[in-house]
Amino acid sequence: MQAPAASEIEAALAALLPPGIAVAAASVAVAGLAPLLPAEAGPAQSMVPRRRQEFAAGRACARQALAALGLPPVALPVASDRSPLWPPGTCGSITHAGEWAAAAAAPLARLAGLGIDLEERAALEPDLAARLCRPEELASAPPGLPPDLWPRTVFSAKESVYKCVRTRVGRFIDFTEVRVAAGSGGRLRFEPAEATADLAIVARLAGGYAVTAELIVTAAWLAPMPGGNG
């Protein structure tokens, strides 16, 4: 039987994301024992045991999400920017936090890009909050969320944005380069903090957040361009 926190994470992700996106979550201790496929074994060789378990748990969740889309178990090799390489026709994202790993996957017909992130449900240290969040973000905690959780939610949302667009943008994006704002009902909006041409795509993302008993859960995604190539 699935651990309650895993089903809570899956429910939170499924509620955040648009319909038709497959999600999977699992305990790192259990899913981390799943075998890696040959194309994934190389990068795992240099990992310490705990990191290898986390990596394997993420891959196991990704394969479970892909299976829910009707796809066979395939390897997700590691790209040069450390992103997982999803099978043709799909996009997705992997995250781990503490004892938990999760993945989400979508056909490209439904989403052109996806990022998810889990963080522990705890306040961010004030000096970190000041480094990772912009003053206007810190001043705009949404109603309904414990205010001390908002800075870490903003941080997590930025990691979701990064995972969603990093490969497309082709460079590191600093935390202060993106502005996060809360909409109603757990929705998030994103925009480049300055008029940075290569970050214009950030304003096209949608996103959301939720909190479970143990975790902050965020996601950012890019809808397909009508009739376009993302």
Ligand X SMILES: CC(C)(COP(=O)(O)OP(=O)(O)OC[C@H]1O[C@@H](n2cnc3c(N)ncnc32)[C@H](O)[C@@H]1OP(=O)(O)O)[C@@H](O)C(=O)NCCC(=O)NCCS
Asked whether position 95 contacts ligand X by CB under 6 A, the answer is: yes
Candidates 94, 129, 210, 215; binder of ligand X (CB under 6 A) is 94
Q: How far is the CB of 211 from ligand X (least distance, A)?
A: 16
Distance CA 115, CA 82 (A): 14
Closest residue to ligand X, judged by C-beta, is 83
Establish if 158 lies at the interface with ligand X (CB under 6 A): yes
Residue with tokens 């908002």: 150
Q: Which of 173, 182, 206, 219 binds ligand X (CB under 6 A)?
A: 173
| Length of the chain as a residue count | 230
Taking the complex as a whole, the smallest distance from the CB of residue 84 to ligand X amounts, in Å, to 5
Q: Is 120 in the site for ligand X (CB under 6 A)?
A: no
Dist. CA 112–CA 115, nearest whole Å: 11
Shortest approach of ligand X to residue 162 CB, angstroms?
4
Q: Of 3-11, 81-89, 136-144, 206-214, which segment contacts ligand X by CB under 6 A?
A: 81-89
117 binding ligand X? (CB under 6 A)? yes
Q: Which of residues 20-79 bind ligand X (CB under 6 A)?
A: 54-55, 58
Closest of 149, 202, 153 to residue 174, by C-alpha? 202
- Is there binding between residue 205 and ligand X (CB under 6 A)? no
- For 40, 47, 85, 223, the CA distances from 75, given in Å and listed in that order, are 6, 18, 8, 25
* CB 223 to ligand X: min, Å: 18
Whose tokens are 């196991």? That residue is: 60
- From candidates 6, 13, 17, 84, binder to ligand X by CB under 6 A: 84
| Alpha carbon distance 162, 173 (integer Å) | 7
Position among 86, 150, 162, 221 found at the interface with ligand X (CB under 6 A): 162
Place of tokens 């810190």: 138
* From candidates 82, 135, 184, 227, binder to ligand X by CB under 6 A: 82
Nearby residues of 32 by Cβ (< 8 Å), 6 or more positions away: 52, 53, 54, 56, 57, 60, 101
Report how far residue 171's alpha carbon sits from residue 60's, in angstroms, rounded to the nearest whole number: 28
Task: Say how far apart CA 219 and CA 93 lie, in whole Å.
Answer: 9
Told to check if 86 binds ligand X by CB under 6 A, we report no
What is the contact surface with ligand X in residues (CB under 6 A)? Answer: 54-55, 58, 81-84, 94-96, 117, 158-159, 161-163, 166-167, 173, 175, 178
